[in-house]
Structure 1
Amino acid sequence: MTKLLTHAFGSLSVRNFRLFATGQVVSAAGTWMMVVVQDWLVLGLTGNSGPALGAVTAFQFTPVLLLTLHGGRLADRHDKRLLLTVANLVAGVLALALSLLVFAHEVRLWHVYGLALGLGVVNAVEVPTRLAFVSEMVGADLLPNASALSAAYFSTARVVGPALAGLLLSAVGTGWVMLLNALSYLATVSTLRMIRPAELRRGPRPVSRPRVRDGLRYVLGRRDLVLPLALVAVVGLFGMNFQLTLPLLAKTVFHADAASFGLLSSTFAAGSLVAALATTGRRRRPPGSLVIGSALAFGGLESLAGLAPSFAAAMVLLFFVGFTAIHFAQAANHRIQLGSDPRYRGRVMALYTLILQGSTPLGALAVGWLAQHQGARSGLVLGGLGSLAAGACALAYERRDRGGHRTDGRQPTAEPGTPGEEPALL
């Protein structure tokens, strides 16, 4: 048992990562509290408008679409610890400003839009930098474990944050929850400054200035990276709009109060946490078939969740949707990151972030419009069907590609520097 726990939590033996994870848990819990109260605030300001909620999501993720590749370039060029410190300080100031507007009873919808846009700019730098910084803290051998634990603590925060937000909304109101979120960023900043730079596993400084187009050229030359990235794009566009679909499902279909909405979100996050913990034992690069199989399972379960006949049934199904969503995201993340040259990792993970999160604005606007005209259930059903279709196309492509290798008598060769892969499951 002790050996199993040591294997599952191996990266926490690294002091720098242990500090980093501690700060991230606190900050992420505050962020998910903010997601709940922000959605509730928008629905209250607009009379339960799906398009308005979709617009907030679009404002938050549009900068990710436009700027993340440049954020990855910054991560490959500059001190990642410093970039993360500045990004979290700016995010904290933005959250504080919105909380003060709520306290003063002066908050308007455009203020929420402005905060979402500002946080989107911050995330365009913070997310690819954070993903690349994990490898500097733990090294290549522990990277899959650290990545899975990162997903685990974010999922933990997603369980605790919404549930706590639901209780605090009823007890103290929106402004205090937003203030707590603003203060939570200080936990990340404090732990970042406690990290010992001498213990980081930094690669050699680039001899030339990192360029975005070099990273794109590298990815396009790697077919084993292009397929999971394409699958992430479609699943992210259609299926990963839970910030929009869950509050609409709770409020317009099941007529839930804030506490019940927090419970629904926490159930989804609990499934995500279980999936994250299940992948902590991974030590090798997963095969493409595992990524595809996860996408298919996610699509089927999300469609079923959209048809749930009761609140209790929706909770059960959303637990499994959360599980398959994180299992898919982790499998894709590990396949992409463990197959990438460290010199390009910041830009490769920026592209991964861009595709996963940058496709959300288009999906959020489309799903918001659909939910407004066809009901909240349609957003989940459409998202699931789109993800199913993408998985089926990817599976057909991979099988045809393998068949092509067998037909011409050649065996596929490993990419330079690519770690060994887990056995294929499909």
Structure 2
Amino acid sequence: MSPASDSLFAHRGFVLFWFARLVGTAAAQMAMVAVGWQMYELTGSAWDLGLVGLLQFAPVMLLALPAGHLIDRWHRGRILAACLGTLAAISALLWAASGGGWASRELLLGVSIALGAVRAFQMPAQQALTPSLVPAAILPRALAFSSAGMQAAIIAGPALGGVVYVAGAAAVYATCAALFGAGAALALAVRYEHAPPPAAPVTRETLLAGVHFVWRHKPVLGAISLDLFAVLLGGATALLPMFAKDILHVGPWGLGLLRSAPAVGALVMSVVLTRWPVRRRTGHVLLGAVAVFGLAQFVFGLSTSFWLSLAVLGISGAADMVSVVIRQTLVQLETPDEMRGRVSAVNSIFIGASNQLGEFESGATAALLGPVGSVVLGGLGTLAVAAAWFKLFPALAERDELVATPAARPR
């Protein structure tokens, strides 16, 4: 490999894609801060906070498999641009509703469904696009560098959203609309070698091909399902408005910092992984990182100190970043290009279940046990998942190298 091809910045399509995801992620994080705080101000209900997550997940379940088939046939950059453009339109609607005084619980729940429908196409398109933009040998670095940018956006987005929210929800949504529009323009400029497969009818077999592939390849199944159960049990994102307002006694600015804290840890770790990627004993490192994530969630649930809460959320973000980079690299390298859209769609269902369904689970258990009981129980559940995966998926747990290195040449 030449030095030029070894540089991520030598790949123009990857750079454009990186910036498109950067601004899109920042806008999405700003929007979620505004929606969460606005919903809690309107209803004061933990159930409604969880319902926002559930309604975002439902369309992913319905649309992910058809989306994966579409992504394997059409230009993935154009699909991403269409998704970001749609998010700009949704943000403009929320801008008008908040500025006009007709924002309501029902509107926010309806918007949650629309966001889920867009995510069904956006997430697998993004996942399947990255390996087409860089050589396989530098894919782990590309994913780590991409994650660094995303985490920077996740840090800046909620913090900026919390500050801008002082001027009202309408100001946040207006900013989101502009950022999503910029992301769509950048995604439209992404170029890569795309050869559409021969036209073929859409059948049950083609739609389920990604499911069959994941089921037959146990390391891939283990990696994808690990994220599902670990984050489903251990996520506390949906409850952050409750912790901010009722336990830690801070306002929207504090909520923004709490949402940003995991990304601070993740950003630091992603920079480390860009420079020093995990090369050996990756299975043990992966499951160890999930255990650290669960322990950090457990401590967060018990904390009544704002600064301790920020610190353990940062640790959870760093541990999660190790898990994300290893899992994403393994899944992409184990999947042939013509299957990446459908396999990424299956992955997006698992991720959606872990994130959006996890938010609903958090809201529902918080309604029964309170926010502290919900997060503490979830952290313990994540620790149990990390231990169980050593036994259930030995091929994943004992995985050594992610990217096979050529044998050393005799001297």
1:364-406 residue CA offsets vs partner (Å, 9 max, x unmatched)? 2232122123222223212211111111101133459999xxx
Q: Which residue number corresponds to residue 251 of structure 1?
A: 245
Distance 2:24 2:370 in 1: 33
Partner SS state of residue 149, structure 2: helix
Alignment of 1:211-290 (within 5 A): 211-242=206-237, 244-281=238-275, 282=277, 287-290=282-285
AA in 1 matched with 2:116: G
Structure 1 window deviating more from structure 2 (385-394 vs 57-66): it is: 57-66
Q: Which amino acid aligns with 2:375?
A: L
Q: Which amino acid aligns with 2:213?
A: Y
CA, structure 1 residues 11+285, in 2 after alignment: closer, same or farther (shift >3 Å)?
Answer: farther
TM-score by length of 2: 0.90
Amino acid at match of 1:249: F
Output the amino acid matched with 1:69. L
1:408 corresponds to: none
Residue 407 (structure 1) aligns with: none
Tell me the SS of whatever aligns to 2:137: coil
- Unaligned runs of 5+ residues in structure 1 are 1-5, 404-411
CA drift of 1:297 comes to: 1.4
Compute the displacement of 1:285 (Å).
8.9
Q: Matched residues in 2 for 1:82 and 1:88: separation?
A: 10
Equivalent residue, structure 2, for 1:188:
183
Instruction: Pick one of 306, 325, 343 that aligns with 1:348.
Output: 343
Matched, 1:97 2:93: yes
1:234–1:390: 8 Å Cα contact kept in structure 2? yes
Distance 1:217 1:367 in 2: 31
- Taking only the aligned residue pairs, the percentage that are identical comes to 27
Q: After the TM superposition, list the runs of 4 or more consecutive aligned residues in structure 1 that deviate by more than 4 angstroms.
A: 206-210, 283-286, 398-403
Describe how 1:103-252 pairs up with structure 2 within 5 A.
103-170=99-166, 172-195=167-190, 197=191, 200-202=192-194, 205=197, 208=200, 211-242=206-237, 244-252=238-246
Deviations 1:89-118 (A, max 9, x none): 111111111110100001111100111110
Aligned partners of 2:292, 2:278: CA distance in 1, in Å? 23
TM-score of the superposed pair, with normalisation by structure 1? 0.87
Matched residue SS, 2:249: coil
The superposition leaves residues 353-372 of structure 1 with CA deviations (integer Å, 9 ceiling, x where unpaired) of 11121344443223212212
Q: Which amino acid aligns with 1:277?
A: V
The aligned counterpart of 2:37 is: 40
Change (3 A) 1:361 1:85: closer
Q: Distance in 2 between matches of 1:147 and 1:400?
A: 23
Task: Answer yes or no: is 1:10 the counterpart of 2:7.
Answer: yes
* Kept after mapping to 2: 8 A contact 1:145/1:283: no
Aligned to 1:338: 333
Following the alignment from structure 2 to structure 1, what is the Cα–Cα distance between the partners of residues 111 and 219? 37
Contact 1:238 1:383 (C-alpha < 8 Å) held by counterparts: yes
Deviations 1:291-311 (A, max 9, x none): 212211111111111111311
Q: What residue ranges of structure 2 are gaps of 5+ in the alignment?
A: 407-411
The CA distance in 1 between the partners of 2:200 and 2:278, in whole Å, is 32
Aligned to 2:409: none
Closer/same/farther in 2, CA of residues 10 and 52 from structure 1, 3 Å limit:
same
Which secondary structure state, in structure 2, belongs to the residue aligned with residue 309 of structure 1? coil
Paired residue secondary structure (1:295): helix
Maintained 8 Å contact 1:285/1:338:
no
Residue 377 of structure 1, aligned match among 347, 350, 372 = 372
The alpha carbon displacement at 1:189 in A equals 1.5
Cα offset, 1:249, TM superposition: 1.3
Count of residue pairs brought into register by the alignment = 399
